[in-house]
A = this chain, B = another copy of it.
Amino acid sequence: MPAPVRPARDVPADGRAFVAAVDAALDAFLRAEGENLAGIVADGRHLTDAIASLSSGGKRMRASLCYWGYSAVAEAAPVDVVQAGLALELFQTAALIHDDVIDRSDTRRSVPSVHRRFEAMHAERGWALDGGHFGVSAAVLAGDLCLSFSEQVFGSLGPAAASGTRARLVFDRMRMEVLTGQYLDVLEEVAGPDRDPAEAVARARTVSSYKSARYSVERPLVLGAALAGADTDLVHALSAAGLPLGEAFQLRDDVLGVFGDPALTGKPAGDDLREGKRTVLIGLARQHAPADDVAHLEDRLGRPDLDAADVARLRAILTESGALRRTEELITQLHGQALAAIEHLPVPERVRTALTDLADRAVSRQA
């Protein structure tokens, strides 16, 4: 049976201790749930094993933001912030499992994506029928289970996260926003080619705002603060810092999705081009590249069979059109906005330092 409300434990003293505590909680949670599933039938453990294989490699950025939002208010309050971080990381794992199905990604965090893991199990054991479809089916179910786990853990936070509280509203809205943002993302892949190119950058920024800037940065930060009982002014101030930081984070992701080093990102080179992601980077190229290059880009974007030469040619279009340079300028500008907002936050100095450090890493990262 799932765990009831847990008593608050000591709040970890720093970000590193917090991440270690979240990692340990994740490991313990998935092991306990694996026992529960195996109690139904031994094969049930395939699902928790698959979830664990993907979740173990995370950077815990969302959990960490929740910790720093929490630490902006209280050093110790009757909410287990490690459990809150665990709920966010379980949600993120669920989202990644389904995202990899949607993006047809073979690898994630340098290990096989969950649908590929199940497909490989099918092949190794010589099972019947269509292994690819079995992989997708199992991944859909593993993601659903992980979503339920996330909710189960979030609910165990008790009154501070109960219905009607600010924390619950933030959590519910976060889920709704990221799922809507992801839908807009796949919609833009198919509908974008026929929509007004002059508006492509604006549309890409809307998608990015919902699927990532809010979800990956602003909401976790505000969630932590809300759990610790922040007032409305602090919540707004944290939002004002989180949104530009989140957008800069996503723009860096977009650049890495095309120009990233596979050895560092854990994903194949040019993956976003094969998937046909219509990012700000692509939108800028559609606006500024010569007509021939735009036509070539439109012709190749979203083809699953792009080879290394195709990727190199598309990268050249993005570079020569100035789309890459403009994206980098936008990242620098948003990073600056975030830093200015962080500087004026009414928070303890150690929180300001940590958020500044997070902002620097979000934009300078190579993975």
A contact set with B: CB distance below 8 Å: 1-2, 4-5, 33, 36-37, 40-41, 43-44, 46-47, 94, 98, 101-102, 104, 122, 125-129, 131, 133-134, 136-138, 140-145, 147-148, 151-152, 155-158, 162-164, 168-169, 172-173, 175-177, 179-180, 182-184, 186-187, 189-194, 206, 210, 276, 302
Contact = CB atoms under 8 A, between A and B. Distances in A.
Contacts of A175: 145, 148
A44 B148 contact: no
Given A5-B164, A44-B183, A127-B191, 9 more contacts: A47-B179, A47-B180, A127-B193, A136-B136, A138-B183, A140-B143, A148-B179, A155-B168, A157-B163
How many copies of this chain are found per oligomer? Answer: 2
A179 B122 CA distance: 19
Given A37-B176, A140-B98, A186-B134, A127 B194 contact: yes
B183 A141 contact: yes
B177 A40 contact: yes
Dominant SS among interface residues on chain A: helix
Contacts of A5: 162-164
A53 B162 CA distance: 31
A90 to B, nearest CB: 13
